[in-house]
Structure 1
Amino acid sequence: MASLLGGCQADEIEPSLVDGTQRAPMTSGDCMVGVYPSGDGELIIVTEGSEGFNYATSAGEIGQIADATAPARCAGPTLVNTDGIVLPRLQTTVTDTRFQSGDIELAGRLIQPPGAGPDTPVIVFAHGSEEEGWIGRARDPYQMVGRGITVFVYDKRGTGASGGTYSQNFPDLADDLVAASAEARRLLVDRHGRFGLVGLSQGGWIAPLASERADADFIGIGYGLVVDIREEDASQVELELREGGYSEEVPLGRELTDITARMVVSNYQDGLEEFAAFRDRYAGEPWLANLRGGYSGVLLNIPIAQLRDEGVPMFDRLNIDWSLDPVEVLRDVQTPQLWALAGADREAPIDTTLERLRGLRAEGSDITIYVFPETDHGMWEFAQADDGSREITRVTDGFYDLMADWARGDVTGTYGRATQR
């Protein structure tokens, strides 16, 4: 298991670095983004939020630092916990940089833990589908830094401080991840240990696409899936029907998603008449009214004429490549892979993913699988109400330790309630 760092002083970061990159303290108001060891082997992480600052603990609790239940308060370069004990910030080395991916300039940040050297593992993160930057805002990189891993994180195209237009074109995003990996290596000047990629959610597509070109020693996937976008939509619709008490309507859900898959691939030309007839036939049915899926629920609320003439601008702007086959992508990956899956994932149901990963492993792919039970997408534990709605409570125990140990090449012992498959 991973051991946590503790007892370090707040960092003193130099104001500049050669090659035009910058080093600067991360601060706003009375809070400073970073990792704060609590002295008892645990960590408190402070990141920027949409309103104020957020906290996360190494045990998985999250919230806003202004909450009455927060474990500490900001005090300039330190935190003060509820017992009045001052917690200095971990003495990390932070290097901000800008780099090119084709004709797009991206913003990146290298974060090195205390004592980082030639044996320290490195992770470059490929994040999910969110439309906001990760620099200073995402907790996952700091969870790794607090566990002794060097991290390179960047704002993906069209988000945060990066240029370009937001996209969900996986090959383009893989190009960005390859460029980020090259920038991380440039900044580290080969002074590092194992070098790997970690993809979370949608990043589980991006990391495998980039792994060989990035010359990764390993890749780690958190709550990803081995199904294409159309299959994901169909899986979500089926799960929604079953959990809503409409198991008998599952074949109708499959009929619907078969039609909508043809529509999106054909730019809303093939299947429109069948879609219109289906929607009219079951209009008013409660099982249809509440369907969301990945995109089918959106299509159900758009007039046929508008679909034919305009498509769905909110989808079209994403520049999706519908041709990718996830199994073929993974079949070409020679790099050792870790897949950490959420056992009760509603956004990315895992049954097909598990079956395909096992099939690839039987063919010779180097794949390690852990499943965390009773967790939803994002590795969230949750409380489920009688109506089926879920309220997230915390990131499940052991997930971050597993990812850090995988980066070290030393996955041993137990990780929360996870089981190896």
Structure 2
Amino acid sequence: MRVPAFALALLLTLPFAPAVQAGTVGDCRVGAYRLAGGRVVDIAPTDGDTLRWRTFDGETGALHAAADGRWTSTFGWTDRPDGKAATFSCAKGRITFDGRTGKRIAFNQTETRFPGRGVDLAGRLVLPKGGGRVPIVVLVHGSERDSARDFYWLQRMLPAQGIGVFVYDKRGTGGSGGDYSQDFDLLADDAVAAMREARRLAGSRAGRVGYQGGSQGGWVVPLAANRAPVDFAIISFGLAVTVLEEDQQEVVLEMTLKGHSPQDIAKALEVARAAEAVIASGFTSGFDEFDAVRAKYRDEPWYKDLHGNFTWLLLPYDKAQLIEKGQALKWGTPWTYEPMPTLEASTTPQLWALGADDFEAPSAMTSDRIRSLQAKGLPFTLAVFPKAEHGLTEYEMKDGMRVSTRYAPGYLQMMADFIRTGRIGPRYGGAVIDRPN
């Protein structure tokens, strides 16, 4: 789903990241429940007056309150009823979901505040009940501005599978101090601080410890993993290219899928690079060049299909408007940060889980680069899920737009296996897997 607001669209927002206006945060229904037969369903807050359910195999839907006290479900992120329903007993911690009863799973949960780089951050350690050692994964933000402690559902889903989770609010979000930032260097230091706090709180229960980060977190996690030893790193739908290259790759992918010629795609890239120069300058230069290339191509048939990750946002505005709007976008984004030197210096086993159909973070060049690192002997595993887009969700088409339906089969199990052992099994849904040499 595209985010129409000028500023928000530059956040590379995750499909499963809800809007800040959610009215269900703190809802007594929110939690992970073990159903009769052993299946786990997680109930999470989301935007508006709905809840979202998810299961470990990747199925999901939205729950809508009905007049009779039931909650009825719609399929994935569509508005199509799927026949499922839920009822809750908050006082007893019980659920009836899709005809099966279940009980809320209790975890050992510890709230904490800890120092990041120059700010206090709010975090939470969630461990399975018991006293034994467990692997722990630190969940690293993408670019969303919501509270991870409120909205990250993996903080319940993974502990329900015997894996500990440390979740924290990124600086400038939720209960954490400081200003919102997209400075990867700064955010990597915060991630290291979160990892150390997770180890401190877990004490003797800490087994393997590492990171998982999606989207923008794919730039942050490798930096953090190089700064202090961890046992593993998982990058979900992230990139091994610069932020500006991401925009260019999205332009190429979208224009290709719309049937435009290589010559027209080359022209579209001229416009994209001019837009990128404006934003990379902090909206201080490049306006004349941008005006010239827009005037040159504005009337050509392909121009209406030019999009990219953020090029399209700049297209309607003149210099004065861009300067004004650019004042709200100074988040420290390192537009030309090249991630390959960081990856080449890594000794941490990494799992890269990518979507073959990802528009927001096109995966082809990143896949090639991860394979080149494997060829050099780095301990990286690459899994590319077919028919999956940003967020590792599968989708269907409606009115020319993608609508997500579920998480890619095998994706969650793959992450859990890698967290536990640093290795993955032979098959996860339809994922195409390249293993370390």
Which SS does the other structure have where 1:209 is aligned?
Answer: helix
Per the TM alignment, residue 311 of structure 1 is displaced from its structure 2 partner at its CA by: 6.7
TM-score normalised by structure 2 residue count: 0.84
Which SS does the other structure have where 2:288 is aligned?
Answer: helix
Question: Alignment length, in residue pairs?
Answer: 390
The answer to whether 1:96 aligns with 2:93 is no
After superposition, the C-alpha distances for 1:200-253 in whole angstroms (9 at most, x for unaligned) are 111111110101333211101111111100000101111121122223411112
Identify the match of residue 121 of structure 1 among 118, 135, 141.
135
Which SS does the other structure have where 1:121 is aligned?
Answer: strand
Contact 1:338 1:368 in 2 (8 A): yes
Identify the residue that residue 366 of structure 1 maps to in structure 2.
379
User: d(CA) in 2 for partners of 1:71 and 1:365?
Assistant: 47
- Closer/same/farther in 2, CA of residues 247 and 113 from structure 1, 3 Å limit: farther
User: d(CA) in 1 for partners of 2:332 and 2:307?
Assistant: 21
Which SS does the other structure have where 1:73 is aligned?
Answer: strand
Contact 2:243 2:336 in 1 (8 A): no
Q: Percent of aligned pairs with the same residue?
A: 38
Identify the residue that residue 63 of structure 2 maps to in structure 1.
65
Pairs within 5 Å for 1:191-340: 191-248=205-262, 249-307=264-322, 309-310=323-324, 312-316=326-330, 318-340=331-353
Per the TM alignment, residue 264 of structure 1 is displaced from its structure 2 partner at its CA by: 2.8
Identify the match of residue 189 of structure 1 among 200, 203, 209.
203
Per the TM alignment, residue 136 of structure 1 is displaced from its structure 2 partner at its CA by: 3.1
- Closer/same/farther in 2, CA of residues 271 and 103 from structure 1, 3 Å limit: closer
User: d(CA) in 1 for partners of 2:25 and 2:369?
Assistant: 45
Identify the match of residue 134 of structure 1 among 125, 133, 148.
148
Identify the residue that residue 78 of structure 1 maps to in structure 2.
94
Identify the residue that residue 408 of structure 2 maps to in structure 1.
396
After superposition, the C-alpha distances for 1:173-200 in whole angstroms (9 at most, x for unaligned) are 1111111111111101142211111111
Amino acid of the residue matched to residue 187 of structure 2? L
Identify the match of residue 362 of structure 2 among 328, 332, 349.
349
- Closer/same/farther in 2, CA of residues 359 and 283 from structure 1, 3 Å limit: same
Per the TM alignment, residue 350 of structure 1 is displaced from its structure 2 partner at its CA by: 1.0
Identify the match of residue 110 of structure 1 among 119, 122, 125.
125
Amino acid of the residue matched to residue 308 of structure 2? G
Per the TM alignment, residue 407 of structure 1 is displaced from its structure 2 partner at its CA by: 0.5
Contact 1:181 1:214 in 2 (8 A): no
Which SS does the other structure have where 2:150 is aligned?
Answer: coil
The answer to whether 1:169 aligns with 2:172 is no
Per the TM alignment, residue 28 of structure 1 is displaced from its structure 2 partner at its CA by: 4.1
Identify the residue that residue 51 of structure 1 maps to in structure 2.
48
Which SS does the other structure have where 1:68 is aligned?
Answer: strand
> In proportion to residue count, which structure has more strand?
2
Q: CA RMSD in A?
A: 2.1
Contact 1:263 1:270 in 2 (8 A): yes
Per the TM alignment, residue 261 of structure 1 is displaced from its structure 2 partner at its CA by: 3.0
User: d(CA) in 2 for partners of 1:116 and 1:393?
Assistant: 38
User: d(CA) in 2 for partners of 1:48 and 1:217?
Assistant: 31
After superposition, the C-alpha distances for 1:371-412 in whole angstroms (9 at most, x for unaligned) are 111111101111124x64211101111000000000011422
User: d(CA) in 1 for partners of 2:324 and 2:48?
Assistant: 36
Per the TM alignment, residue 110 of structure 1 is displaced from its structure 2 partner at its CA by: 0.7
- Closer/same/farther in 2, CA of residues 29 and 272 from structure 1, 3 Å limit: closer
Contact 2:117 2:186 in 1 (8 A): no
Per the TM alignment, residue 73 of structure 1 is displaced from its structure 2 partner at its CA by: 2.2
Per the TM alignment, residue 284 of structure 1 is displaced from its structure 2 partner at its CA by: 3.9
Amino acid of the residue matched to residue 31 of structure 2? G
User: d(CA) in 1 for partners of 2:72 and 2:324?
Assistant: 48
Which segments of 5 or more consecutive residues in structure 2 lack a partner in the other structure?
1-23, 65-70, 74-83
Which SS does the other structure have where 2:249 is aligned?
Answer: helix
User: d(CA) in 2 for partners of 1:315 and 1:291?
Assistant: 22
Which SS does the other structure have where 2:44 is aligned?
Answer: strand
Contact 1:116 1:150 in 2 (8 A): no
Amino acid of the residue matched to residue 206 of structure 1? V
Which SS does the other structure have where 1:65 is aligned?
Answer: strand
